[in-house]
Amino acid sequence: MGKYTSNILQIYNTLSGKKEVFKPISEGAIGMYVCGPTVYSNVHLGNVRTFMSFDMIFRYFKHLDYKVRYVRNITDAGHLENDADQGEDRIAKKARLEQIEPMEVVQRYTVDFHTILNTFNFLPPSIEPTATGHIVEQIEIIKSILDKGFAYEANGSIYFDVLKYNEAHHYGILSGRNIEDLIHNTRGLDGQSDKKNPQDFALWKKAEPQHIMRWPSPWSNGFPGWHLECTAMSTKYLGENFDIHGGGMDLKFPHHECEIAQAKAWHNHSPVNYWMHANMLTLNGQKMAKSTGNNILPAEILSGKNDKLTKGFSPSVVRFFMMQAHYRSILDFSNEALLASEKGFLKLMEAVTSLSKIEATEVVNDFDIIKWKSNCYAAMNDDFNTPILIAELFSAVKYINQIKDNKASINNSSLAVLTETMQQFVFDILGLKTAVSNDQNHKLGETIELLIKMRNEARALKDFALSDKIRDELIGIGIQLKDGKDGTTFLLD
């Protein structure tokens, strides 16, 4: 039997607004869908945080020996500028501005997305479907919803009838909104819209003559609605009812609300048992936005080439920083916070490295390893509470340092448990990368030592531009230098 049998996991379910004991539909197996990126620009740091949260969750499920089918889509059509039913398709607009094919835009930014996630040590999902690869499925869903009376055609477009749906179901069940408030707070239609009501949303949009991306359908040459795409892809690979649907907090309404409505109209039952939402990332206390300039790209964090940070930071430092906050809490990104996280990360890596050099004794332990291990699992079983887990890991760091200083002792069996547990939680679950000492890779070590020597010579000559360039270029390829009283050492990410 898997570890999941001895770990009672509680998950905060946005649908109920409380933590619930997690019970998968099929014992030992989990179906999880996470809304992926719309690939029309470089991946946003806030999106990286969301995907990193679900990467950690995916890792923990796997650690508990669940068989996980993790589906994370690529939106490559149908996502309009204002997240509703007006404006241009984001990808088509980028293609028009750059005078290239839409699929060139998709390819460029899908590659960027994968490159960034690989840099931060993400596990790939089980399936990564694209919206354009599932047009047939979306058309069939629309036909079914039309047949059941929850949608209507208007001038070649198909709209979901929210008021009709709300007669039998609750539109707003996920976000806590009610239809009366939505009607009260919505402007009336301007006479140009094909919708019956402002709350209705598109399942299929007839393409205007200038719209580049279009597909044939029974109603018009057009393109699918953004909300419908996720319903089609999630149900195709996970079934009409699956365990977990995740995404950023900003998708709760209207995107996820619309997904629930579509699925219920289609199959007359709720599609998902547990809805999970990761919270937003701010920058220096303010909302991140390209329009205001309060923005930083993931690659700029690594290189240090930006006006927000004093230096570049390694991928594992950034990942460690994000894991120090609970996935449901707002996290503020700042130079000071990253510098503090870097110190903590290096301290953790040094302790993990020291474990291989500790000599055990046969005396009684000064630290309850079994209770500590249980506390680590308890933290993760409590809605994936990584801040509490990290606090427990640093209790072990303190103990390891006491052993190194001959102020504590540990026997062989406990050392084995401590070593294995640290490896599992630090690397397998949190997804941090192993620190590498200078003698673990001779050729690489000698090369880096040569660069360190060149950097030291540059600093001695007060050529700080060159010394900083060497440091920043190494960070850019995942090699972090650490200056200490005994000289400069390095870590590999």
pLDDT digits (tens, 9 = 90+) for 71-108: 999 999 888 866 556 778 899 889 989 999 999 999 99
Q: Are residues 147 and 180 in the same domain?
A: yes
Query: Quick one: pLDDT at residue 55?
Result: 98
DSSP string, 266-333: HHSS-SEEEEEEE--EEETTEE-BTTTTB---HHHHHH--SSS-SS---HHHHHHHHHTS-TTS-EEE
Q: Are residues 286 and 272 in the same domain?
A: no
Whether residue 452 lies inside any domain: the answer is: yes
**Residue 374 DSSP label:** H
Taking only the tens place, the pLDDT of each residue in 184-224 is: 666 655 556 789 999 999 999 999 888 889 999 999 999 99
**pTM here?**
0.88
Whether residue 133 lies inside any domain: the answer is: yes
Whether residue 8 lies inside any domain: the answer is: no
pLDDT above 90: residue 242: yes
Query: Quick one: pLDDT at residue 192?
Result: 60
Other Cβ atoms closer than 10 A to 86: 12
Q: Are residues 446 and 478 in the same domain?
A: yes
Q: Are residues 273 and 288 in the same domain?
A: no
Q: Are residues 272 and 304 in the same domain?
A: no
Q: Which of 253, 278, 303 is the last residue of a domain?
A: 278
Q: Which of 278, 296, 317 is the last residue of a domain?
A: 278
Query: Quick one: pLDDT at residue 437?
Result: 41
Whether residue 266 lies inside any domain: the answer is: yes
Q: Are residues 57 and 168 in the same domain?
A: yes
Whether residue 199 lies inside any domain: the answer is: yes
The span from the CA of 80 to the CA of 91, in Å, is: 9
Q: Are residues 411 and 264 in the same domain?
A: no
Query: Quick one: pLDDT at residue 187?
Result: 61
Q: Are residues 149 and 186 in the same domain?
A: yes
- Report the CATH number that the domain containing residue 164 is assigned in CATH: 3.40.50.620
- Report the CATH number that the domain containing residue 387 is assigned in CATH: 1.10.730
Whether residue 9 lies inside any domain: the answer is: no
Q: Are residues 297 and 317 in the same domain?
A: yes
Extended strands (E) in 28-156: 29-34, 67-72, 151-154
Q: Are residues 234 and 137 in the same domain?
A: yes
Whether residue 436 lies inside any domain: the answer is: no
Q: Are residues 292 and 368 in the same domain?
A: yes
Cβ(161)–Cβ(152) below 8 Å = yes
Full residue range of the structural domain in which residue 393 is found: 282-429
Token pair of 50 as six digits = 């969301």
Q: Are residues 273 and 300 in the same domain?
A: no
Q: Which of 215, 248, 278 is the last residue of a domain?
A: 278
The total number of structural domains in the chain stands at 3
The pLDDT mean for the chain works out to 91
Mean pLDDT for 227-245 is 97
The span from the CA of 378 to the CA of 386, in Å, is: 11
Taking only the tens place, the pLDDT of each residue in 21-48 is: 999 999 999 999 999 999 999 999 999 9
Token pair of 414 as six digits = 């406990």
Whether residue 481 lies inside any domain: the answer is: yes
Query: Quick one: pLDDT at residue 439?
Result: 42
